[in-house]
Amino acid sequence: MSKRALHGFVAGLGLSLLAVPALAAAPAPAPTPAPTPAPTIDTTAQHAIVIDFNTGTVLLDKGADDRIQPASLSKMMTAYVVFQYLKKGQITLDDMLPVSERAWAKHKTDESNMFVPLGGRVKVEDLIRGMIIQSGNDACVVLAEGLAGSEEAFVDQMNETAKTMGLTNTHFADVDGLPDPGEYTTVRDLSTLARHLILDFPQYYHYESEKDFTYNNIKQGNRNPLLYKDLGVDGIKTGHTEEAGYGVAISAIRDNRRILEVLVGMASMKERSSESEKLLEWAYREFSDYRLVKAGDVVDEAPVWLGEATKVPATTAQDVYVTLAKSARHDMKVTAVYDHPVQAPVAEGEPVGKLVVTAPEMSDLDIQLVAAKPVPELNAFGRMAAAAGYFLWGSH
């Protein structure tokens, strides 16, 4: 295995890179967050995760894999399944759904409702707004019954979708997140769900940022506290039950850099607001994204065996970004690694090796290198001469 430290390459990027809490390639539809060191900021939330959305880098992990009750954060999955129906053309935003007595009765016992009329019919888009903006439990039941025939059948679809997403520590028992011993998740799973909601349905994501909605002559405001501040926040959902405490899933974007955080287990709405804002500002203040490699740029040369050229320029198939702590930018190393010379002929885009990015307190990051251009195979005479040279003088 040959290795070559690319100190000049890194210097050429204009970066002086040091130890970072986490590092990952980007962008990716569903990245696996890299392991992180102990939290570098305190939070009163019992469970928390803060992620750089573009790279998947986990900036803060506090009990991210502990089981919790999601409360109304589970409505993110309810919305996701509804959006699947819309995408497949099985319903439209203008379709009307009937209000059963079961759905209507929600307003008698639950504080989160859009107040749908008994025996009435409600437009799908109104129900979506009622579910997301007003956190309406009654809206969730109307949607579930109208689309799947029953709440139980809709919940089955939620759990199947969770499996497809890889939410291995999640199980839903209802569509509104009311307490149930069979309902559980983790803040990491909720962050994955939030990521899918943003990436898979950008055409519907705007509902998450709407500040109020009036239905049945009742105006209610979005309960996401950071939507009302100039922080770049555009979603996603709040939740609260006595058992779960106050929780929130926040997504914000500034200068094309999105931060995602999920916090659960706070004692009040005030605490939920202050903690979510504190962690958001910390993530933007302490970390930044840097482009390490631009797709197509030659970063090194890989050795070639029996080719018309002895080396082939190596590049990456896509732009590669890293998330780095701004205060730590000098100890990162980038090394080109080749297990053996590439056998000619070499096709453009063929894997030829990898870049290994290392820094203290982080897991290594491997980035695949590919050939930037083809290298034809030597003719028969050339192969014979190369083989003879190898036996006489070795590989050098």
76 and 195 part of one domain? yes
Residue 44 lies inside a defined structural domain of this protein: no
Residue 385 CB neighbours (<10 A): 12
Catalytic residue among 62, 74, 75, 112: 75
94 and 232 part of one domain? yes
Give the CATH number of the domain where residue 326 resides: 2.60.410.10
93 and 10 part of one domain? no
Distance (Å, whole) CA 20 – CA 36: 9
Known catalytic residue: 75? yes
Residue 40 lies inside a defined structural domain of this protein: no
**How much is the average pLDDT of 188-203?**
98
**How much is the average pLDDT of 30-37?**
42
Q: What total number of domains does the chain contain? A: 2
Residue 330 lies inside a defined structural domain of this protein: yes
* Lowest mean pLDDT across 77-91, 156-170, 333-347: 333-347
**How much is the average pLDDT of 194-214?**
98
HSE at residue 4, side-chain half, CA atoms within 13 A, is: 15
Catalytic residue among 74, 112, 135, 276: 135
Confidence class for position 329, pLDDT limits 50, 70, 90: low
115 and 174 part of one domain? yes
How large is the angle between the packed helices 151-165 and 187-200, nearest 10 degrees? 90
76 and 20 part of one domain? no
93 and 171 part of one domain? yes
Q: For all residues of the chain together, what is the average pLDDT?
A: 88
Report the relative pairing of strands 300-305 and 342-343 from DSSP bridges: parallel
Residue 63 lies inside a defined structural domain of this protein: no
148 and 227 part of one domain? yes
pLDDT at 75: 98
* Domain that residue 91 falls in: 69-243
Residue 42 lies inside a defined structural domain of this protein: no
Predicted TM-score of the model (pTM): 0.85
The helix (run of H) or strand (run of E) holding residue 279 is helix 269-286
* Lowest mean pLDDT across 1-15, 133-147, 148-162, 249-263: 1-15
State yes or no: pLDDT of 363 exceeds 80.
no
Residue with tokens 């453009």: 348
Known catalytic residue: 135? yes
**How much is the average pLDDT of 191-197?**
98
Q: What is the pLDDT of residues 218-232, one digit of tens each?
A: 999 999 999 999 999
Give the CATH number of the domain where residue 85 resides: 3.40.710.10
pLDDT at 322: 85
93 and 212 part of one domain? yes
With a pLDDT cut of 70, the percent of the chain lying above it is 84
Query: Domain boundary at 210, 243, 276, which?
Result: 243
170 and 303 part of one domain? no
pLDDT at 385: 59
pLDDT at 155: 98
Catalytic residue among 72, 74, 112, 273: 72
Residue 274 lies inside a defined structural domain of this protein: no
**How much is the average pLDDT of 229-255?**
96
**How much is the average pLDDT of 127-148?**
97
228 and 171 part of one domain? yes
Sign of CA pseudo-dihedral 60, 175, 72, 52: positive
Q: In this structure, what DSSP letter does residue 40 have?
A: S
84 and 16 part of one domain? no
90 and 157 part of one domain? yes
